[in-house]
Copies of this chain bind each other. A is one copy, B any other.
Amino acid sequence: MMAALARATHGLEQREVGRQQVFDTIRTAGRIARIDIARETSVSPATVTAITSELLAAGLIEEIVPEGDREGAKRGRPRVALKIRGSAHLMAGLKISDRSATVILVDFEGNTIGEYDEPLPGPVMSPEELVTLVGQALDGACGAAGRSRSEISGVGLGLSGQIDAARNFVHWSPSLDARNVHLGQMLAAALPFPFFMDNDANLVAMAEQLFGEGRNTSDFIVITIEQGVGMGIVIDNQIYRGERGCGAEFGHTKVQLDGALCRCGQRGCLEAYVGDYALLREANIRSGALPEEDLSLLYARARGGDAMAQSILDRAGRMFAMGLANIINIFDPALLILSGEQMAFDFLYSDEVLARVRASVVQVDAALPEIRIHKWGDLMWAKGAAAYAMEGVTAQTIKGLAANEA
């Protein structure tokens, strides 16, 4: 039997919470004066002074030299803004897709330091091959950016599939030829980095939280589209992962009883209606070319008036809308972010689809949840991985802060 009912915060841990809170406030704000940190967090200025001097001493944050222009300030001692010290840590984010391993190096503020793309021999690897590949990709990224391996404080790794982030365990991933892989242990044994891995959609949610549309919202949901459809759930500023770490399987929610066959072997999954392979299957296009090219062909046909192509995209849109409406009906979120890097899936983000979503939601006389479409660059996934690593390294660093001042 376990209790752990209320999250307790006794004694030594109390300051840790304060440090994390102040740090997060600074990161969310970008640059902010102590007095405003106090106001936002309802912590007294005295305590903010104490905490910020710890963080300053540890090199996690820095003061901004006041510029000449103090806009709007009347009188009084000028506020000195604080910000995250970018050079405090170098983080790496790594996303494995079916084609390549994409690496991004970011500083502790989230600024991109370097990018790198390592092509894969094939879409599916053995765990050992993946470990090797991760090492190569990181070396490649360091080389390209003129940094040394040893500078990296943490590596975030994003994989499709069912990942148990708490245990760095892969239940299943389309990138791996084995199930139930303790990938975290293998990586730790082979490479000298602290690794943080998770399902790729969760990582995008974290990127939205740290750098994107979710910066000022404590509860929101992110939907991603790539090969499949993914979801990241943020509740009370935390990624919700479920018991075994394999929740948020939006792509495999069923939208049709005994419906279309999905790659997962079941029928009626949303992915079996909106995934690229599903569209091509229905259109009966199999040129052998890259999927994107085939998809472009399908879009072109639809725009050109081809009734069959239009019908395929239309149904996909309707199914997608139905899935989104279900998510809203279940979560009633403040914010739903449709996060994507490709224009390819524009038809799923169309006004028509959104209108359908709004019409399929339980109607009350209160503003509907906000639906925001966020189109990132092509490094979105890798940046999410970096964001996750940042969070992990930050938590560890803050925990380890000794209060040793002279």
A242-265 with Cβ < 8 A to chain B: 242-250, 252-257, 264-265
Known contacts A179-B365, A254-B322, A257-B256: does B17 contact A8 (CB below 8 Å)?
yes
Distance from A305 Cβ to chain B, minimum over Cβ atoms (Å): 24
Q: Give me 8 other A-B pairs in contact (C-beta within 8 A), A162-B362, A244-B366, A245-B332 excluded.
A: A1-B216, A3-B41, A8-B18, A162-B364, A180-B365, A247-B331, A253-B330, A266-B359
Contact A40 B257 (CB under 8 A): no
CB nearest to A16 among chain B residues: B6
List the number of copies, as a whole number: 2
Chain B positions within 8 Å of A21 at CB level: 3, 5-6, 8
A7 vs B21: C-alpha distance in the bound complex, in angstroms? Answer: 8
Number of interface residues of A (CB under 8 A): 78
Interface residue A190 (Cβ < 8 Å from any Cβ of B): no
Interface residue A404 (Cβ < 8 Å from any Cβ of B): no
Contact B329 A252 (CB under 8 A): yes
Identify which of B6, B9, B25 contacts A3 (C-beta below 8 A). Answer: B25
Contact A10 B4 (CB under 8 A): no
Interface residue A363 (Cβ < 8 Å from any Cβ of B): yes
Interface residue A318 (Cβ < 8 Å from any Cβ of B): yes
What is the interface of chain A mostly: helix, strand, loop, or mixed? loop
Interface residue A326 (Cβ < 8 Å from any Cβ of B): yes
**5 A-B contacts, Cβ less than 8 Å apart?**
A4-B218, A8-B42, A241-B332, A247-B330, A266-B359
CB nearest to A365 among chain B residues: B180
Binds B, one of A109-117, A126-134, A232-240: A232-240
A302-333 with Cβ < 8 A to chain B: 318-319, 322, 325-327, 329-333
A8 vs B257: C-alpha distance in the bound complex, in angstroms? Answer: 46
Identify which of B8, B42, B236, B248 contacts A236 (C-beta below 8 A). Answer: B236
Interface residue A20 (Cβ < 8 Å from any Cβ of B): yes
Against B, the Cβ 8 Å flags (1 = close, 0 = not) of A325-351 are 111011111100000000000000000
